[in-house]
Structures are given as C-alpha cells and as structure tokens.
Structure 1
Amino acid sequence: MKKWILLLLICSANTCVASELQGAWKLVSGEYIDQNGKLTSYQSINLQSLKVLSESHFSFTSVKGDSFWAAGSGTYKFADGKYQETLNFNSFGQSKGSQFTFDSKLVGNIWYNSRWEGETRVEYEVWQRVE
C-alpha cells in the first residue's frame, strides 16, 4: 500500500510540474549563436515567436520582421530545472526525434531557458505567459 501511495505522489508531482508550463507564451527577449558563430539578439533581427504547450506537447511559430522564420512541434519534458523538447516536425532541417535541452526556470509568468553546447551558451530565451 505504501508503495502505491508513493508512486501516486510521484506521478502527481510530475504532472503538476508539466502543467506549470501549459498555455501560450510569447518570446520577449533572448539571443543565440548564429551560423557564423556570432552572438545575435532576437531584438536586433526583430524575431517574434509564440509557443503553445499542452500537458505533453509543444508547438511554436517564429517570424523575423513580417516574414516566416521557423516552426516546430513535438513533445516535451520539464523537471528538475531542465526543459527538453523532442521534435516531431520542424521547418529548419532537424531530424525527427532531435532533442534540445535547456536549463530552465519559471518565475511567476516569466520563463527563462538557456541551451548549452559544452561550455558555450548557444541560446537564451525569456518567455512571458500570455494565456
């Protein structure tokens, strides 16, 4: 009986953590390392993005100025300060099943993500909940 109660509490905790991100998010700031190795702020290229998360899936669309820039969707996990996306579909040439893992922190309605490759931060995002 005690094992079942513990399992139920663990599952409830995991669902609760994932549900914290459910909703719609707009990108408010960030930066990334571009294909030339240059640190580029999203504001400098007029990048706008909206990400929508259900309990287990995500989808995002980004525009640069008034033109389409990128889109992707798939599944995600959020636990222990890590947010991981697994792509099913995307417009930017990644294989199905590609994963992107971020150090992640949710503070109220602001969500911070940092993605690293080795010692280099290659992407930083600040999202604000809109719904």
Structure 2
Amino acid sequence: MKRLLYVFLSLLLTAFANIKSYSQQSQITGAWTMKAENLDHVLLFTNGHYSYSVYSVEDKKFHHTDGGIWRGDGNNRESGNLQLTTEFNTSEKSLVGKTFTCVYAIKEGRLETNITGKQLTFTRIDAGNGPLNATWRISAREQNGELYNIPPAARKTIKILTGTRFQWAAINTETGEFFGTGGGTYSFTDGRYTEKIEFFSRDGSRVGMQLSFEGSVKEDKWQHRGKSSKGDPIYEVWTKED
C-alpha cells in the first residue's frame, strides 16, 4: 500500500512539474518584435527552438540572425532564466555549439530580456497558436519526379513557425557554416500556405514577394507543393522537430 502511494505521489509531482514547465513555455512561445534605429528586430520561440533576426523591410536589407535550442528553468511562467544553445550565428560563427543563459520577464504583452546581450523590450506579435506552430526540418524533396529522403544530419534546413511568422535557415551545427535564411509572415487556411517575405539573406530583391503553396499537416509531417521564389516547382516534406 505504501509503495502504491509513493508511486502515485511521484507521478503526481512529475505531472505537476510538466504542467508548470509547459505553462512557462506557453508564455514565451510565439513571435515578438521591436524597432530600433530603423531596423526590425524579431524573436521567434517554438516549444524547443528560437531565432533572433535583424533586418530592414523598408531598405530590403538583412543584417543578422542567430538561433538554436532553448530551455526554461521552470521556476515561473512569466519570468526566469533561459538556457540557449546556439546552432547558427551569422555575426560570430565561433558561438555555434556554445550554451549561455539569459533572463526574461513578460508583462502586459511585453517581453524584457537580455537575450542579445543588451536589455531590450519586445512587443508580442502572436502567441504561437496554429497547426504549423513548431520547428520543422526538411526531410524529403522531389527532384525530377522522384521523392528523395533527407536524413537527419548536422547540415540541415530548418523552418521555425509561430502563429503568424516564419523563418527558414540552412545551417551546419558541427562546422558553424551558414548557407542562407529568409523569413516574414505567413497564413495557413483551407489547405493553402502563403508566405510574404520580409528578409532574404541571399537576395534582398525578393523582399515583398508572396509565395503560395498547397499544404497539409498529418501528425509530425508537413508537406507542400508550389513554386519557389525563383519560380521553380517544388514539393517538400518537413518533419516536426519540437
């Protein structure tokens, strides 16, 4: 009887801890923005990944991005510490693979944090709602009429989506190499995925373009078919990472 009671209490405490941790994550997940010196600063958080980007929509110029994996300390859903492990950084490649800690506090739709090394205040854009809210890794691509699988590897392309914002990044987490990124706003309605580009590291002339795809989500797979920003036909399958 005592053993059963001990097991029950252990399970109850574990469940409570998980709920508490989830509540904290649900407070910070989503998209956040601020404007400084005519530059757009955007933070994206899914349940396990984050990205921070700096760019100018008006000038069609990309300045910086970094991102990776984050974990909360679970102490408080509205404030606490974040542990971040860098998977890409366009300004300082040597930081890839490093883990650092920052603090945050959320109050009245604003996020105060020193995640960039400076104390900044961001305003919430969305709370990370919707079927595509996650970090996705490209796992298959059609070429010449055949679908080729792309197994997990250090060299990968990921796509971070909150409720209304997206960012893709082509990276190598072992070497720190960075191959490109782009992002902006998106919608997903009635099987139609549409994104509007706000920044593109390889070609600023594509800022403002709108791309539309037929898409669907089933369990941990997201597939879409359409045309790339170059106008080439594409069919891709993405697998959920968090």
TM over 0.5: yes
Cα displacement (A) at 1:70: 2.0
Q: Which has the larger radius of gyration?
A: 2
Aligned to 1:99: 210
Structure 2: distance between partners of 1:102 and 1:32: 17
Tell me, yes or no, if structure 1 residue 62 matches structure 2 residue 170: yes
Q: Give the alignment partner of residue 24 of structure 1, picking from 128, 132, 135.
A: 135
Aligned to 1:73: 183
Q: Give the alignment partner of residue 52 of structure 1, picking from 160, 174, 177.
A: 160
Q: Look up the equivalent residue of 2:197 and give its one-letter code.
A: L
Greater relative CO, 1 or 2 (CA 8 Å, sep 6+): 1
Structure 2: distance between partners of 1:130 and 1:84: 21
Which segments of 5 or more consecutive residues in structure 1 lack a partner in the other structure? Answer: 1-17, 34-38
Structure 1: distance between partners of 2:199 and 2:143: 21
Do the aligned partners of residues 116 and 72 (structure 1) sit closer, same or farther apart at CA in structure 2, a change above 3 Å counting? closer
Tell me, yes or no, if structure 1 residue 88 matches structure 2 residue 169: no
Structure 2: distance between partners of 1:68 and 1:42: 22
TM-score where L is the length of structure 1 = 0.66
Residue identity over aligned pairs, in percent, reads 25
Q: Secondary structure at the match of 1:20?
A: coil
Aligned to 1:122: 233
Do the aligned partners of residues 42 and 109 (structure 1) sit closer, same or farther apart at CA in structure 2, a change above 3 Å counting? closer
Give me the CA root mean square deviation: 3.2
Structure 1: distance between partners of 2:239 and 2:186: 18
Structure 1: distance between partners of 2:143 and 2:212: 14
Matched pairs, number: 106
TM-score where L is the length of structure 2 = 0.38
The Cα offsets for residues 62-112 of structure 1, whole Å up to 9 and x where unpaired, read as: 148x64322001000001111011000012314321111111011111000
Contact (CA 8 Å) 1:72, 1:91: kept in 2 or not? yes
